[in-house]
Structures are given as structure tokens and as C-alpha cells.
Amino acid sequence: MLSRAFARTYLSLMLGTSILCSPALAQEQQEDSATQTQNSSATDALMEDIVVTGTKQSRAQEIQKVPLTISAYSSEQIDALKIPDLISLGTSVPGAQFEQTTVKGTANFSIRGLGINSSKVSSAPAVGIFLNGVYMGVNQGVLFDTFDLEGVEVLRGPQGTLFGRNVTGGAVLLRYKRPDSDPDFQLRARAETGPSYSVAAAGGGALSDEVSARLAVIYENDAGYFENPLLNDKNFPKSEMITVRPSLRFQNDRTDITLFGEYGRITGDGTANYAPDYVVNAALYPNIPKQDRYEYNDILAQFPGETFVKWYGSTLDARQEVDFGEDAALTFIAGYRNLLSYTFADVDGTPQTIAHTRILVDQDQYSAELRYNGTFGPATLTLGSYHFHQNALQMNGNPINGALSGAKIVEDVFGFFGQVDLKVADGLLVQVGGRYNLEDKDANVSATASQTPGVILPGANGVPGSCRLTDRRDPYGCNWTFRQNATFSNFNPKFTLQYQFAPTAQVYATWQRAYRSGGFNSQYNAEFAQTPFSPEKQRAMEIGFKTDLFDRRTRLNGAIYKTKISDLQRDIIVFDSATLLSRSQTINTADATIKGFEAELIQKLADGLVLSGSVSHTSTKFTSIRFDLTQDPASAGGPQVTAFDYQQRMPRVMPWTYSLALTADHDFGFGNATARVSWNHRDKSYFADYNFNRRDGADVALPASDIVDAQITFEPAGSAFSFSIYGRNLLNEYTLGNFTPLSYPAVKGCACYPNKGRIFGAEVTGKFR
């Protein structure tokens, strides 16, 4: 078992080393990490070169010159595309699915069919989210507004060498705008049908020759998109969000240090859940119209519920130039975050009392990474060390019968990584790298039981009164019924070959290994002692190309890939009719293979007219199954792996995604107008592991969708303002974030989170320098 004292000593040494070296910018030199040109139009922004930070070099690099499959968006492109948040961004990334779970504000991301179906703190994500270079340890409170972002990068495929664990599907990198010595101020006001509105402002400038500051504030008020006839509520669920982001920067010729702070809060009703298969009993509920599967209907929540999410933290982003090597620098990234998330909701999607839940997450994390970059002749060297610590408490309860369970997962991760980029010939580059990770996890778990002492809850095996959770404002916590520890270690090598056969064209091939963390389940309702689940291991091969053709009027990028996964981790979800809770248990279920291809195109048809598009195809196959995915009852021979298990589809895999968008702008003299229309298709994908030909008749699928968006923006000549009107999801396509069947086939309830349908909006932005 690793010593906590050693962990803190290690972090202190890293902090001390960075201070002695006078570090500056973190992940990279981020003044280069967004488009440097002030774009004059939306089409210019779409065709601009973008520099990215995902290579962790001493300076950011042009996206078309790195041997990585990346979809990247500069601040100018985010403005031009009117991307409001990360969920909206997901529809434009091939093979990606960015959704929200039943717990409001909780991300559920998947790339190339790799993601999770859980909001448990013990379930490691397959897509890592990094804020200013800092890894987010839980997926609550990370659905960020895109206002005042410097850039977003979506790295597709495993990223284990440079980013560590839990990035087997990919990584999403978010960067806030840093302070600048030149004063600026920007604002945004937006109103949408629902109704909802938001206002945001950001600005900053120099405080002295070497110090500058910036402040961004975002406020959003959502009156509620759906109707709830059970509460005579025309707008449900209501929510309010505020985010404050101060930052301070010190910069001179060789040193660049930025300190970001953030405070955020979401308050409002519980979540909206909809049961697509529920049939309304007209005799019992005469005022509720018939529900139609996969159409927008009323939300049937018996009570408003409550959502409360609060987080605060800071990240240090620092870079110091050194004289050991050419273009050499020490980079230091550190971060701290505290999060409290509480949801109380009627989650079954029916007017019947099936599943009411309270979910509380209380999390602390801190991390530090120290990295060296330098070039020696034809070789560029990257060396680094990393430490991550997290203490995460989660409690899940049902107020109907007082059922409650709890867990606290404490983990320390130590990583050491290195990579050499060697130019072996003109245009030929070889990358060789690897990362060693050592993880120590403690699990403190209380099995499901009544939270009232002395009350025996049928079907539960915990100790009554072990945990208490009645309200987020009251004392909460658990007396742990068991404690266990496990240590995991992994080494992940990577080999890449890149050939730049023309100034604007390259091909590359990569082989690498990556893994998801092992651990313990935070939900427990079994008589036998828990055992840890093993890390999920991955071997991935990819061949890609990037080209800028015809005097840079055509940009075409693509990749084919094949991934072999062993000890596949799956969150097996079962509705417990005794405790009225959905239990999710992470199990190493199978070995599998995923393969597919992706392509992205940006074509300048004429001055002021740009066509963009993408396509992806993903196919999967179980090669070996070791767990009964179909949950065979005793009448079917009990738990056993049969041919029926091999017929199941891997969850969160969209066989096909494709998109097209046309952007046009024209300068009329008195102002510039931009019009854009886009179409994004996502195939049907399954949510639960038991999904094909289920005995209870549930079709646990996220429906296929064709999302059509349109917008028109006008910028008066000589004005700092722009005015936009837009429509999102104009076809009113029904989309879901998750599908967890409850009490099938009798009632056909569902913990299904519906995304909003058709939305019309107007926006005013202003930029002043």
C-alpha cells in the first residue's frame, strides 16, 4: 500500500522544483494555442490553420502537421459555429457522442464506441476531460459553456502515453482564454425558446509591464423546456447556473505563468426523465395524453426534485525556458478542485411510484505534472512525471423505503512518461514513447440498507443505519462495512511513423497500448465480499492522412483504426425491485475488437462559401465473453455464457455518423452577413449491455437522429456588435442521453434523460479592444 505521506511529499517536491525553476505556461505555450489571426469572416475562421496543444511539445503545433487524429476548434471557430456547450460540439465530431446522464451536469462522453453508462465515481471514464491541462477526476460538473474558451481539442483514439489512464477512447482538452496585455472586453446575450436566457461577459488587460488579469462571468437561467401536467407546470425542469473565472498572468521573455480560478454553481429542479414505452392508464390519469415513443411528450414527475452542483478550484499553467537543448522548456501544471453534486429526482418517467433517487457526490482532487521538452539535433525529447490524488464520496438512496448505500474511493496515481520524436530523414519522423503508471486505491463501502437503525430492508444486505442522507444541508456520511485496498501498475508503449511527403500532406501510422483504471464498485448489495475489477487493457493500431490541396482550398483528413480490448469493463445495470434502486456493478466482462474509419473535409467552394463534412463507421465484435451479459434466470439455466450473449451489441457504438454543413458570408458594404446550415446524422446505439431481443421487451437504445441547425449572423460595418438568429434541431428529432429500463415489463418505466427538441434563439455579441 502506498503511503499517503509519500504522496504528499512527492507533490511538494514537484511544486518546489517548479518554483525553483520559475515555471511558466502549463500544457504548452498557449499564446500559440489558438488562431493568431483576427479573422474577418466565418469562412475565414473555418479555413484558418489551428495550432494544438495535445502533443505536449514546448510550443503548440499546427494541427495539419501532427501525427494525431484531432478535431480542434479555435475561439473564432466556436464563435462562427455558435457552439453553445460541449454536448452541441459532439454532433460535429465524427464517431463522438457527447451526452448528459440522468444526473444533471454530468457528462457521458464516448468516442469510437468507447464510453461509460454510469455516473458512479468508481467507474473510470473512457474519454478523459482536461481543463487547462488538468484531468477531471469525476464527470460531474464538466458540461462547460464555451464562452471565453481559447480552444477545444478532441483527440480521438487512445492517448495513454502523454495523458495517462482513462483515455482509451480519447481526450477532450479545454482551454480558457488567458489574460493579455492588450485590453479587451466581450459580452454575449442570448435568449432561446423554452424559454431560457443567458448573459456573459469577459475582459481584462495589463496591470503592469509583466502582469495582466482577466475575469469571465457567465449566467444562465432556464425556465424549463418540458411540461409536467402532474405538477401543473408548463416549464420543467427549471435551472440556474453561474460561473466566475478570474485569472492572473505573469509574463516576460522567458517565463510565462497563468493562474486560473473558477467557481460554478447549478441550482434548480431535479432531472427530466421520460419513459418511451410507458402506456398511460386513462382511467387513473385522464388529464395525461397518450405518450408516443420517441416523440416529445410531457414529463411525468411526481415532484419537482432538486439539483445542486457547486464546484471551485484553480489551475496553475506555467512554462520556463531553459538552456539545456534547443527551444527547451520546463512546463508545470497543477490543479485543485472541490465538487459537491446533489440530485433528488423522480427518475422512472411515469406517474407511478417506482424509483425516486437521491444521489450525492462530494469530491476533492489535486494533481501536478512536471515536464521537460528540448531538441537535440534531429531528436526532440519529452520527459515528465505526474501525480494525481482524489477523495470521492458517493451516496445513492431511495426516499420511498429509505434504502441507502455509500462509498468513498481514495486514490493516488503516479506516472512517469517519455517520448522521443526523431527526424530520421527529410520528411520522415519516428516517435517512440511510453508511460509507467502506479495506482493505489482504497475503497470504503457500505452495502445497501435502510438508513433507519433497526429497520431491516428486504433484499438488502447492509447494516441498517450505516449511512445517512436526507438532504444535502443535513449531516451525511457512512460507517463503512468493509474497507479494501488494491494497487495496479501498467506500462503503455507507443510507436508512430510519420511521413510528410509534401509540404501540405502527410501519412502516419501508430501502434500503442492504453488502459482504464481498475478499482472497486461504489454500489454494493451482495452477501459476498467485494473484489476489485481489473484494469481494461487496449492495443490500438491506426493509419491516418492529412492533406491541404489545391492551394489550400481543400482540407481532407482521414484515419482507419483497429483496437483490441481485453478485460472489457462494463457497468452492468440491474433494477432491484426489493430496494427500488438501479444498481450498477462494474465487471470485466469480455474481450472485444473495435475497428472503423473516419474522414473530415473542409472545401472552399468560392470566396465566402465553405462546405464541410465528416463521416465515420465503427464496427465491433466480442471475441470472448466471460460474464453472462443476458442475465439468464434459473428457468433458462441460470447465469451462463451462451450464443445469446454473443448476439448482444456493444453499448454506445454508432455504426455510422456523418455530417454536412454549408457556410456563406458576404460583405454588403454596410455590414457583413453570414449564413450557415448543418446536418448531423447519428445511427441508433445501444445503452445497456443486455440489449438485443431482451426477455422484458425493452429496446434499450438511444434512437437514431438527424439534427438540422441553421443560423444567420449580421455584423454592421464599423460596429463591435454582431446579431444572430438561429434554430437548433429544426426537425425536432428526439434524442436521449441514457436509457435505463425500470420495472419492465410490468410498468415500463425508464430512467431516460431526453435532450431538448427544437429551439429557436437570438444572440447579441460585442467585442471591444
Distance CA(176)–CA(180), nearest Å, equals 12
**3-class SS of residue 30:** helix
Which single residue is written with the C-alpha cell 470485466? 588
Q: What is the pLDDT of residue 90?
A: 77
Asked if 119 contacts 106 with a C-beta cutoff of 8 angstroms, the reply is yes
More confident residue, 56 or 17: 56
Number of domains in the chain: 1
CA dihedral 628, 632, 634, 635 (to 10 degrees): -150
Residue 575 has pLDDT above 80, yes or no: no
Lowest mean pLDDT among 72-76, 516-520, 671-675: 72-76
Say what the pLDDT of residue 530 is: 66
Give 636's DSSP letter: G
Q: How far apart are CA 744 and CA 765, in angstroms?
A: 49
Q: Give the closest residue to 256 by CA, choosing from 72, 18, 15, 38.
A: 18
Where is 165: in which H helix or E strand? none
Say yes or no to pLDDT of 320 above 90. Answer: yes
Contact 565, 536 (CB under 8 A): yes
Which helix (H) or strand (E) covers residue 17, if one does?
Answer: helix 4-20
pLDDT > 70 fraction of the chain, expressed in percent and rounded? 93
Residue 755, pLDDT above cutoff 50: yes
Q: What was the pLDDT predicted at 49?
A: 82
Interval 385-433: pLDDT, tens: 999 999 999 999 988 889 999 999 999 999 999 999 999 999 999 999 9
Highest mean pLDDT among 35-44, 123-132, 303-312: 303-312
Q: For 246-256, what is the mean pLDDT?
A: 96
Alpha-carbon distance values, 137 to 108, 162, 444 (Å):
13, 17, 18
Q: How confident is the model at residue 383 (pLDDT cuts 50, 70, 90)?
A: very high
Place of cell 505555450: 29
Residue 529: predicted pLDDT: 53
Task: Identify whether 183 is preceded by a cis peptide bond (ω within 30 of 0).
Answer: no
For the stretch 359-370, pLDDT in tens is 999 999 999 999
Average pLDDT over residues 168-196: 94
Whether residue 279 is predicted with pLDDT greater than 90 in this model: the reply is no
Residue 769 CA to chain centroid, in angstroms?
33
| Structural domain span for residue 665 | 4-768
Task: Give the burial class of 621: count Cβ atoms within 10 A of its Cβ; 0-12 exposed, 13-18 middle, 19 or more buried.
Answer: exposed
**736-to-84, 85, 702, 739 alpha-carbon distances in Å:** 18, 17, 6, 7
Residue range 75-88: average pLDDT?
81
pLDDT at 523 over 60: yes
Residue 37's pLDDT is 36
Q: What is the pLDDT of residues 216-248, one digit of tens each?
A: 999 999 999 999 999 988 899 999 999 999 999
Query: Mean pLDDT throughout 662-684?
Result: 95
| Of the candidate ranges 332-341, 465-474, 661-670, the one whose mean pLDDT is the lowest | 465-474
pLDDT above 80: residue 558: yes
Asked whether residue 639 carries a pLDDT value surpassing 50, the answer given is yes
Confidence band, pLDDT 50/70/90 cuts, at residue 672 = very high
Confidence category of residue 732, pLDDT binned at 50, 70, 90? very high
User: Who's near 133: CB < 8 A, 6+ residues apart?
Assistant: 26, 27, 53, 173, 315, 317, 333, 335, 369
Region for 26 from its dihedrals, namely left if φ exceeds 0, alpha if ψ lies in -120 to 50, beta otherwise:
alpha
Q: Is the pLDDT of residue 485 over 70?
A: yes
pLDDT at 40: 57
Q: Is the pLDDT of residue 17 over 60?
A: no
The enclosing domain of 724 has a CATH number of 2.40.170.20
Distance CA 462, CA 637 (A): 29
Q: Does pLDDT of 2 surpass 60?
A: no
| Residue 91 DSSP one-character state | T
More confident residue, 524 or 726: 726
